[in-house]
Structure 1
């Protein structure tokens, strides 16, 4: 966003706290590229306390100094290294699982049952490497026995797919019972159908000039929303939408995040930018209501 526009944008105290919590999570999980992008975004705000701004600038400088690879796109060599690291992690977990009479697996199962959200995600990511019938059955039972956070439910489906599981699975979600095919579960953002990926790409196309960092937060929110919607009637609707619905969902997401992050949105101008005409108004209001309900339930209000 150009400086002249940023002059009128205020970073509310709760918004600042929200981003700092997210930044801490990124650093704790060594997601340095994402942390650097967030710091670059935060440093654009002109009305932040000087001490806080200096801290962010110092942290940004530290990331660039200690992890210079964060400023360069991954090369094929780095991708090979990443694949090698994944193979090494897989082998380490398999060795641990086979060497201690099941104590390591039981520890992961306990973490999945009793841990925090982050610990449960970590347990699922590690269990995914253990292709044992009793382990996959444990994850199945855990997923199906009662409602879970949508992010955990989606992660569990990915885990089962990575274990080689197939077929239909039924579990409670949003007060209903959903039925999905394990092997159809996307393992990465690029595995979702093209039209669903186009929705977030459209946000990037619109915001890349005036708000180049906006798409980072939109992408994260969209991925969380897809996990929230997966297996439900909402996701089925996304799969069946016509091409015009790309602009409908993209603009609804843009409007909600614009208001959430900056406290205001010129809805009429935004809809005009996305080409939302009168005939699309009802569809747009429905998408906006669905996304609003998701944000209120699973994303803290930073304002």
Structure 2
């Protein structure tokens, strides 16, 4: 994350509700051992003026601990080295999970299956992520049966589709989603943000362009919400519309998401100024209102206000 500029530092206030939201996000990153992202978030939080001194001390101590325990987070690698390191890490994870599965003689796989069927949302995600590294033919039909049995949370549906693609499953799958039956080709499931259509990628990049100067770290949270929204929309007519949208739709959806997240995080937004920055003119009012209402309904349902 980039640092806050001096001008924006004086204008942005870290409200208690927003601080709580960030702390919950920080806890999530630490649980998932995403220490680099946690370090960036701490650097961002420590720049705000007027924060409770106790919180500042806690954040500073956590930042120091991360630097001591994981010094590599303070020295980012080049993109090519990061990709290579990621591939090596995946190989190690795959090898460790397969060895554990072989030692347990099927018990490990059974535990993952039970976790998927009976666990919490976070446990289900964990189970699917580990299943993706196993080379066991019975997992494909098992995950497929579980996925198509009844409606699931859109995030876990999308994660299951990614797992099916990673373990080599192919073909069309029908599943209940958002009140309708959708048909999807497993091999078309995006695995990373770069796998989504260019128009969809452009929408979040546009937010980064607009917020780069005044709120350079805002795009981090916008990207997370956008990925969750794409999981919600994937396979529906709405997703097809986003994927095939005209160039003007990039500004419509990006500005709507920008305004909604500002209202959620900071309790307010300078709507007219943002609409002007994104070039939203009178002729775009109706599609903008539709995008805003769609995103607002999604955020209220799947990302309620903390506290």
TM range (shorter): over 0.9
Task: Kindly state the Cα deviation for residue 266 of structure 1 after the two structures are TM-superposed.
Answer: 1.3
Would you say 1:27 and 2:30 are equivalent positions?
A: yes
SS at match of 2:173: strand
**Counterpart in 1 of 2:109?**
105
What runs of 5+ residues in structure 1 fail to find an aligned partner? Answer: none
Indicate the residue corresponding to 1:134 in structure 2: 138
Pick from 41, 49, 70: which aligns with 1:46? 49
2:210 is aligned to 206
- Describe how 1:40-189 pairs up with structure 2 within 5 A: 40-75=43-78, 76-189=80-193
Report if the CA contact (8 A) 2:128-2:163 is conserved. Answer: yes
CA distance, structure 1, for counterparts of residue 71 and residue 92 of structure 2? 24
CA contact (8 A) 1:260 1:302 kept: no
Structure 2 gaps of 5+ residues are none
Match of 2:18 in 1: 15
Tell me how many residue pairs correspond in the alignment. Answer: 303
Who is 1:253 aligned against? 257
Q: Is the 8 A contact 1:157 1:185 kept in 2?
A: yes
Which stretch shifts more, 55-64 or 191-200? 55-64
- Report the RMSD for the aligned CA atoms in angstroms: 1.7
Counterpart in 2 of 1:232? Answer: 236
Post-superposition shift, 1:86? Answer: 1.2
> Normalising by the residue count of structure 2, what TM-score does the alignment of the two structures yield?
0.93
Q: Which residue in the other structure is 2:279 paired with?
A: 275
Residue 192 (structure 1) aligned to one of 189, 196, 203: 196
Tell me the TM-score normalized by structure 1.
0.94
Moved more, 116-125 or 87-96: 87-96
